[in-house]
Copies of this chain bind each other. A is one copy, B any other.
Amino acid sequence: MSEERKLAVLRAIVEDYVETREPVGSRALVERHSLGVSPATIRNDMAALEDEGYIAQPHTSAGRVPTDKGYRMFVDRLSGVKPLSPAEKRAIQTLLDGAVDLDDVVTRTTRLLAQLTRQVAVVQYPSLSRSTVRHVELVALEGGRLLVILITNTGRVEQRMVPLNGDPAESVLAALRSRLNQAVAGRRLAEVRALIADLAEQFAPADRPLVRAVIEALEDSLDIEREERIVLAGTANLARHGPDFVLSIGPVLEAIEEHVVLLKLLTEMGDGAGGVGVLIGSETAHTGLQEASVVSSGYASQGEVVARLAVLGPTRMDYANNMAAVRAVARYVSRILAS
């Protein structure tokens, strides 16, 4: 029994099953793929594959269905990289080139991915923890309030309103502004907290409440956990996967509504071969996603990976296609954010 052919059989099973959504038998296999051997031979291979846990039968005398382990093997060793069609490449360009700011890039990317893969698309906002401070601005408003604005190198703008007692002197503000920027401009957000902690001591006692309030506002903007955001699109695609999947749609919807769950998945998964990571079924380690897979890739801003984007769909998905789409989009987004 040739090891090579056995894997070819596994590949054929995965491909056929993804396409037809029905358990695939030995006869259909030799008919659709030119394997050059008889169904009986295939059956032997299948029995071996089943022993090794790559495929399973829903019931005796039915065809075979890939297991999570089978998909994993397919993704790791059997699936070639399917290049995108020119039309798809064009779609990526035309859709993303029109983006005007970071919000726009993110939402457009999400829609694009959903459309391209016909799955649920997830795009994570550039993570605050890895980005750096471009500028901090203080704006005194009428009514004794102060607007504290934090701008990151990824283009993200966080603002907080600080109530004060009485209007602060512009000279104090100017001093604080310049000290702040001197301290934190260009530094990573994760470092900022430490850098500004004892800033108050450099000011006259009378001004310290003001300084402390500003520091507090800034720290609030930095609260990374709270600000890890993701955007979704294409949830309606979940209903496009046949009645059997639609019945287990509830848990999946719950999982993706819990953004925390998705964030955890994304941040914990690395990039595999070709810069694309895949989690299959139970590998997600989440009850609602037993029948779902996630295909994801990091994207960069100014040469450094800052966040991830992904598609989510049934384990029975077209991995080659989705991996190609995710990779292409991630690269294109990185190129846009490079500037």
Contacts and interface: CB of A to CB of B under 8 A. Distances in A.
B243 A257 contact: no
Contacts of A142: 135
Contacts of A101: 161
B141 A147 contact: no
Given A139-B139, A141-B135, A157-B159, A240 B236 contact: no
The winner among A101, A135, A250, A251 for most chain B CB atoms within 10 A is A250
A257 B233 CA distance: 7
Contacts of A250: 236, 239-240, 246
Contacts of A233: 257
Contacts of A139: 137, 139, 149
Interface residues of A, number: 28
A118 B275 CA distance: 40
A238 interface: yes
Interface string A43-60: 000000000000000000
A261 interface: no
Contacts of A234: 257
Given A147-B157, A236-B257, 20 more contacts: A135-B141, A137-B139, A139-B139, A139-B149, A141-B151, A149-B149, A149-B159, A159-B159, A235-B235, A235-B253, A235-B257, A236-B250, A236-B251, A236-B253, A236-B254, A239-B250, A240-B250, A243-B247, A246-B247, A246-B249
20 contacts: A101-B161, A137-B147, A139-B149, A141-B151, A147-B149, A147-B151, A147-B157, A149-B159, A157-B159, A159-B159, A233-B257, A234-B257, A235-B253, A236-B253, A238-B253, A239-B249, A243-B247, A246-B246, A246-B247, A246-B249
